[in-house]
Structure 1
Amino acid sequence: MTVLWLVLLASLSAFNLGVFLWAVIQHFLNVEIPSSLKHPVKLRFLHCVMLYIIAVGNILEKLRICSMPRFIQSFHDLIVTKKNHNLVVTNMNFGTIPVRLFQPKAVSSKLRRGIIFCHGGGTICGSLDCYHNLCSCLAQETDSVVLSVGYRKLPDHHHPSVSKDCLNASIYFMKGLTTYGVDPSRVVVCGESVGGGILATVIQALFSFPSLPKICAQVLITPVMQLINFRLPSHQQNQNVPLLTKDIIMMSLCKYVDIDLSWKDAIFNGTCIPPDFWKKYRKWLSSDNIPRRFKSKSLLPESPGPFNETAYLETKQVLDAEISPLLIDDKIIAQLPQAFLVSCENDPLRDDTLLYKKRLEDQGVPVTWYHVEDGFHGCIILFDKQPFSFPCSMKIVDAVITYIKGI
C-alpha cells in the first residue's frame, strides 16, 4: 500500500510539473512584455501560474471531474482576508444574492457616502473574498459604507444572470439606504473590469425606477464596455500582454454568453457582425474616436471581415446592448452621472474606456480620466498582495480614493 501511495504521489507530482512546464513554454512563446511595464519577472511568474491553473482546469473538465471555472474558483478558498478593526463587516443575502457590507465603526454625525461595488474576473473568477481587502480599503479610506455584490458566475450562470443580480442587489440596497447609514444623495457605483461594465448597464436600467435615489457618480476601473469590436488599437497592440490576453478574453466571452469556443475567431475578426449593424454603430465603436497617440502605424484594418451569416446566427447575443453599454442611445447617456474612468496603457480593454469617455463628453457628462502608463489589466487586485504588488496597483487605488472623497 505504501508503494502504491508513493507511485501515486510521484505521478501526481510529475503531472503537475509537466503542466507547469507547458504553461511556462506557452508563456514565452506567445506573451509580450511592453517596456513600460515594471517588474516584468514578477508579471511573467504570475501569468505562468494563471496559465497553469487554467490548463489543469481544462484537463479536469475534459476528464469530467470538475469544470474549469469551478476549479479556478476553488482557489478562492485559499485567499486570506485581512480583518480591519475599524470596520464592521457583515455577510448577508439580498434574496438569493450574497453581499458583503463594510461599515465604519466610528460614529458619524451625518449619513455617510455609499458605494456599490462589483468585482471583476470575467464571470469565471473573482469573489467577495478576492476583493474583500480592496472594499475594506475603500470603506476605511473614504469613510463610506461599501456594499460588495457576490453575483452568480460560471459555470452554472451565464448572461444575463450577472447583470440581473447586480441590478437587483443595487435596488434592494437603495431602497433601504438610511437603514445602512447612507446619504441617498451620495451613492456611488464602483466596478472593475466586467464589474465596471455591468454597473454601467445597471445605471442605465435604474432609470426605469424613478422612485429610487439617483446614482451621483460612476467609478469604472478598466471596464468592459462592449463585446463587438475586437480590432480596436488596444486589442491589437495588447493581445499578448499579461494578465489578460486575447485567448483569455475570448474564452471568458464565449463562456459568459454561452457560445461554443469554436466561434472565437469569427467574434475577434468581426465576421459575425452584419454590415447594417456596423454601419449603425460605427460612430460609437470605431477607432475614429480614439486619440491619435494611442494608435501605432502597424495596425490591421478595423473594418469587420466578410460577413458570415452562420457565425452571426451562432453568436448574435454578443450584439445585445445589455452587455455592451456603449450602444445605448444618446438621450440615456446624457442623463448619466459624473464619471471617474481608469484606463491602463497595456490593457486590451484600454480603448473601451476611451470610447465611453468620448460618448459621455459628447453628451455633456463630466468625466475625470485617469490613465496609468505602466498599468495592466487586473493590477488593482494586487495592490496589497506583497510581494506581488506593482506600483500601478497602488496608483489606481489612491486615485479612486481621492476622487470618491471629493464627492
Structure 2
Amino acid sequence: MEQHYLFFQYTVDHTLSMYLNEKIDASIYANNHTSVNQKKHYRKYVDWSLIPSKYRTVYKKSITDDKEGDPSLIAKAKKVLSPEISPLLVEDEQLAKLPPTYILSVGHDRLRDESFIYEGRLKRVGVPVVHNHYEHAFHGSVGLLYGPLALDIAHEMIGDIVKYVKENL
C-alpha cells in the first residue's frame, strides 16, 4: 500500500459500510464481494489502458476472475455496485445518456485511476468531458479553502469548476 494517499485503503471497508449501513470487513480487499459472473461482467468496464502509462507501472498481477466471492458479502455489496455509487460499472448505453461532464482528480488519491477510466469511457460513447487533474494535490484538497490549512490549489480547483459551470450552463 502506498502511504502517500489521504484516502487510505484501510478506509475503503469503513466507507462502504457507511454506504450500505452495515459492517463490511477487510475481506473485500480480496475481491470477495463479487461472484465469478460479476467479475467477468464488470472486467470490461475497468480498462487499465485508459489510465496514463506513468500510473500503470504500479500495477501488480491482474486479478483473476475465477474465484467465487463470499455469498454474504456479495449480497451486502449489491448496493455498492449500483450506478449511483459505482458509475464506472454501468453499461455504455447508460453512460451515453449523461450530460457533458466535469471530472476533477488529484494525483494522491485512491480514486485517481478510476477518474481516467471514467473519462475514457465517457469519451468513447460521445459524452463531452473536461477532466482537470491536479497532480500534486490530494484527496480532499478542494475543501481546504480557508484557515491554517488553506491551499492555493483549492482556490485554483474552485476557479476551474466555476469556469466550467459558467461556460456550460
TM-score normalised according to structure 1 size: 0.38
Could you say which residue in structure 1 is the equivalent of 2:61?
Answer: 301
Could you say which residue in structure 1 is the equivalent of 2:121?
Answer: 359
Could you say which residue in structure 2 is the equivalent of 1:244?
Answer: 7
Answer with 1 or 2: which has the greater Rg: 1
Match of 1:389 among 150, 157, 168: 150
Query: How high is the sequence identity, in percent, across the aligned residues?
Result: 27
Deviations 1:212-249 (A, max 9, x none): xxxxxxxxxxxxxxxxxxxxxxxx54xx3353211223
Q: 1:289 to 1:278 in 2, by over 3 A?
A: farther
Could you say which residue in structure 1 is the equivalent of 2:31?
Answer: 270
Could you say which residue in structure 1 is the equivalent of 2:107?
Answer: 345
Could you say which residue in structure 1 is the equivalent of 2:131?
Answer: 369
Q: What SS is found at the alignment partner of 1:397?
A: helix
Q: 1:296 to 1:391 in 2, by over 3 A?
A: farther
Could you tell me which amino acid in structure 1 is paired with residue 7 of structure 2?
Answer: L
CA distance in 2, matches of 1:266, 1:316: 15
Aligned length: 166
Q: 1:286 to 1:271 in 2, by over 3 A?
A: farther
CA distance in 2, matches of 1:334, 1:382: 34
Q: 1:291 to 1:255 in 2, by over 3 A?
A: same
TM-score normalised according to structure 2 size: 0.84
Q: 1:368 to 1:257 in 2, by over 3 A?
A: same
Could you say which residue in structure 1 is the equivalent of 2:52?
Answer: 291
1:309 offset after TM fit, Å? Answer: 3.0
Q: What SS is found at the alignment partner of 2:131?
A: strand
CA distance in 2, matches of 1:392, 1:245: 21
The answer to whether the 8 Å contact 1:269/1:304 transfers is: no
Q: 1:371 to 1:326 in 2, by over 3 A?
A: same
1:289 offset after TM fit, Å? Answer: 2.9
Cα RMSD between the aligned structures? 2.2
1:336 offset after TM fit, Å? Answer: 1.5
The answer to whether the 8 Å contact 1:270/1:304 transfers is: no
Could you tell me which amino acid in structure 1 is paired with residue 110 of structure 2?
Answer: P
CA distance in 1, matches of 2:88, 2:158: 25
Could you say which residue in structure 1 is the equivalent of 2:21?
Answer: 258
1:274 offset after TM fit, Å? Answer: 1.2
1:304 offset after TM fit, Å? Answer: 5.0
1:308 offset after TM fit, Å? Answer: 3.0
Q: 1:271 to 1:322 in 2, by over 3 A?
A: same
CA distance in 2, matches of 1:242, 1:356: 20
1:343 offset after TM fit, Å? Answer: 0.6
**Counterpart mapping for 1:224-243 below 5 A:** 237=2, 240-243=3-6
User: Are residues 1:315 and 2:77 paired?
Assistant: yes
Match of 1:327 among 65, 73, 89: 89
The answer to whether the 8 Å contact 2:81/2:89 transfers is: no
Choose between structure 1 and 2 for higher RCO, CA contacts under 8 A separated by at least 6 residues.
2
Q: 1:315 to 1:327 in 2, by over 3 A?
A: closer
Q: 1:395 to 1:269 in 2, by over 3 A?
A: farther
1:314 offset after TM fit, Å? Answer: 4.4
- Structure 1 stretches lacking a partner, 5+ long: 1-235
User: Are residues 1:403 and 2:167 paired?
Assistant: no
Q: 1:268 to 1:392 in 2, by over 3 A?
A: farther
CA distance in 1, matches of 2:60, 2:17: 23
Could you tell me which amino acid in structure 2 is paired with residue 317 of structure 1?
Answer: K
Q: What SS is found at the alignment partner of 2:118?
A: helix
